[in-house]
Amino acid sequence: MLKKRNGLFAAFLGVALLVSGCAGSNSASSSADANTIKVGWFGPLTGPTATDGTLSRDAALLAVEQVNAAGGIGGKQVQLVTEDDQGKPEEALKAVQKLINSDKVVALVNGAYSGPAKTVAPKVQEAKIPMVVAYAVHPDITKGGDYVNRVIYTGDIQGKAMADYAVNDLKKKNIAVLYVNIDYGKSIYGAFKIEAEKLGAKVVIDKPFKMGDKDFSSLLTAIKAANPDALYVVGYYNEAAAIVQQAKEAGIGAQLLGVDGFDSPKYLELGKSNTEDSTFTTSFYTSDQRDIVQKFVKDYTAKYKSEPGMLASQSYDAAMVILEGMKKVGTDKEQLAKAINETKDFEGTSGKITFGADHEVIKPVIFMTIKDGKFRFVHSKVYN
Amino acid sequence: MLAQQLLNGVALGFHYVLIALGLTMVYGVLRLLHFAHGVIYMIGAFAAMIGILYLQLPFAVALLFAMVVSGIVGMSIERFAYRPLRGTHPITTLISGVGISIFLENVFQVMFTSDSRAFPETGITTSIITLTESITITNTKLYIIIAGVVCLGLLYGFLKLTKLGIAIQAAAQDIRAASLMGINVNRVVAVTFMLGSALAAVAGVLVAINFNSISPTMGALPGLKAFCVVVLGGLGSIRGTIVGGLLLGVVESLGDGFMTDLVIDKDAIAFVILILILLIRPSGLFGKHIEKV
């Protein structure tokens, strides 16, 4: 009796594991023929960063569908082949090798985080496949050659932009900084510190924190003692929401400043009314009145039943830059890489996109704030 | 500022104590390292969320509901993952616990996605209590401390004054002798798991309110830290667990507040303490006999 029940339980366990395993496998693999052009996408579809990856894939898919609906590229339909990297560099490498070798994609949309993106970049250069990075900010990704471009600005630009805004516009002199202890946080904070000090402000205290930290009360007690007039938080919405809440609880009244990691509805959901007045830099806002943005917001909302955010916009633009290049020169990889590099004043959802000689994007930085529980546009400015 | 950091540490410490009590009780009775305990903590927070959001329960009832759900899950884990393996090598049961925790964590990720979500409105609004000019505490943190003290009191009373509590103590001393004396050992073990799991659920719910965030992986790190607390205090010693939990909370708070550019980060402090304790005093602060590792 006992044995039988255990057998049943084991069977249940096995089936459940199988189901959860299958949920992670890739979705788009419909039959392909000579009349389709394959574009690869990879990013996290399972694991802790799956939400971001899914948003990115959805937006890239929308870009492809829109182009297909408008007649495709030279009469051919485009197919987006997606691979899950689980947020891990080694899985990303496998995904990219599969996309290049067995799917024979002509270009790649990089919907992954910095770690995986950095790992695959040399392989992609070597295989001479044009790749556009959607939202990974590590500086090394684009350094290896002419095949990798990036539609989001690197951390340096954001740090510089916020330093300019905090010191020149908000007249803040004593700034405290909390930064997430990964490339993203360190590179943005590094540039911020240099620029802020050049402009005559002082960083009175800086403390690193880790992704996944929840209790910031000790850090904030130390920050309160330093008595800053602004608190710059370089991190993502989960931690940022916890920090704004606990900063209020600790009685810190300093102006809260942030980065594009804040730009998610989750920030408002988790941080509630504590998010009020926090101001951050990003690259996209839904109330932008340009046609391209309004059409993107309308189509995205109709298809996915939620408003697109910065991540979706970045990924949509990354795909669009590739598709635009294909419209000009077709699917020859070398020509395509050249066409992508020569992108100039392309109307993207995140502003007019131009690539510099260093394969980095030149486009405006957007400042947003939170009023009455909603994101509000403040102003935008081009930095480089 | 020192006093404020100490207070932060005590609140954090009670959070660890509530989780670690279940671990130490289970170890006391079964000599088993219950690695699925962190998952129970997470299940408690999710159960309360479901209670409030979908069953429209008032907060106090939702908390009880979470304790009951966690208690049942804890008992089921014992029944299906540990009991069939009782008497085998301790590593076998330990691995079984690790397996269960991975399994449940993934089930919750499939059901609720891996994203953090806000804890639903409970009717408790966070307010700040000013103790002195420079020392403040939020009411939610105060609740964690109060809940810690109340649960400890109830647990103490239960273990000392009720028949079942005395049976648990007897089983903790010698499970075979207890069974020869006519104690229903299986029932004792089940009750131990239920109690420990219910305490973990209290911790999970209160922490979820305090941080306004729950996610399927929220139990992983607190579960491991609770394990450090238990070893620090002495495996199976409830007194040691209380001291160990508070100590870890305070050390982490002070480390965070006063030291910058630490070679190790805050979360590693617990594990450094664990290694030191294993090297210097393997039985822990209040442990009676030295375990061979």
Give the pLDDT confidence of A355-372 residue by residue, as tens digits: 988 899 988 899 999 999
Specify the pLDDT at position B262.
Answer: 60
Q: A333, A325, A332: which is closest to A353 by C-alpha?
A: A325
pLDDT beyond 50 at A28:
no
Q: Kindly state whether residue B62 falls inside one of the protein's structural domains.
A: yes
Place of tokens 């002070």: B254
> Angle between the B266-280 and B220-233 helix axes, to the nearest 10 degrees?
30
Q: Kindly state whether residue B23 falls inside one of the protein's structural domains.
A: yes
Look up the domain containing B15 and give its range.
2-114+137-280
User: Model confidence over A273-330: pLDDT tens digits?
Assistant: 889 899 999 988 888 888 999 999 999 999 998 888 888 999 999 999 999 999 889 8
Task: Considering only the beta carbons, identify the residue of A17, A218, A251 that sits closest to B257.
Answer: A218
A-chain residues near B265 (CB < 8 A): 181, 208, 210
Enumerate the domain spans of chain A.
36-153+289-363, 155-282
A8-12, A71-75, A154-158, B53-57 — which is least confidently predicted? Answer: A8-12
> Which residue type occupies A75?
G
Specify the pLDDT at position B211.
Answer: 85
Instruction: Give mean pLDDT, residues A238-263.
Output: 90
Q: Kindly state whether residue B147 falls inside one of the protein's structural domains.
A: yes
Residues A361, A151: contact at Cβ < 8 Å? yes
CATH number at B99 reads 1.10.3470
Cα B59 to Cα A146: distance, rounded to the nearest angstrom: 58
CATH topology of domain A155-282: Rossmann fold (3.40.50)
Cα B263 to Cα A84: distance, rounded to the nearest angstrom: 34
Cα B97 to Cα B11: distance, rounded to the nearest angstrom: 28
What would you measure as the largest C-alpha separation in chain B, in angstroms?
A: 60
Task: Considering only the beta carbons, identify the residue of A46, A214, A251 that sits closest to B211.
Answer: A214
Cα B17 to Cα A315: distance, rounded to the nearest angstrom: 45
B-chain residues near A210 (CB < 8 A): 265-267
Domains A36-153+289-363 and A155-282 share a fold: yes
Number of domains in chain B: 1
Q: Kindly state whether residue B165 falls inside one of the protein's structural domains.
A: yes
Q: Do B116 and A218 touch (CB under 8 A)?
A: no
Segments of B115-226 assigned E as strands: 128-130, 136-138
Task: Per-residue pLDDT tens, chain B, 293 aa: give them.
Answer: 788 888 888 988 998 999 999 888 888 888 888 999 999 999 999 999 999 989 888 888 999 999 999 999 999 999 999 999 888 888 898 899 999 999 999 999 888 887 788 888 877 777 777 777 777 888 888 888 898 899 999 999 998 999 999 999 898 888 889 889 888 989 999 999 999 999 999 999 988 888 888 999 898 889 989 988 998 888 888 888 999 999 999 988 888 777 765 666 777 888 888 888 888 888 888 776 544 44
pLDDT beyond 60 at A235:
yes
The secondary structure element, H or E, covering residue A260 is none
Q: A66, A63, A65, A41: which is closest to A53 by C-alpha?
A: A41
pLDDT category at A34 given cuts 50, 70, 90 is low
pLDDT beyond 90 at A179:
yes
Specify the pLDDT at position A106.
Answer: 93
Q: Kindly state whether residue B129 falls inside one of the protein's structural domains.
A: no
Task: Considering only the beta carbons, identify the residue of B8, B106, B114 that sits closest to A221.
Answer: B8
Q: Do A50 and B126 touch (CB under 8 A)?
A: no
β-pair partners for A41: A82, A109
Q: Do B213 and A214 touch (CB under 8 A)?
A: yes
Q: Kindly state whether residue B286 falls inside one of the protein's structural domains.
A: no
Substitution target in B49, B114, B142 with the highest count of A β-carbons within 10 Å is B114
Specify the pLDDT at position A194.
Answer: 93
Instruction: Give mean pLDDT, residues A149-159.
Output: 89
**Closest Cα in chain B to A266:** B117
For residue A278, report the phi and psi dihedrals to the nearest 5 degrees.
-70, 140
Q: Kindly state whether residue B287 falls inside one of the protein's structural domains.
A: no
B-chain residues near A226 (CB < 8 A): none
Which CATH architecture best describes the domain A36-153+289-363? 3-Layer(aba) Sandwich (3.40)
Q: B256, B293, B254: which is closest to B274 by C-alpha?
A: B293
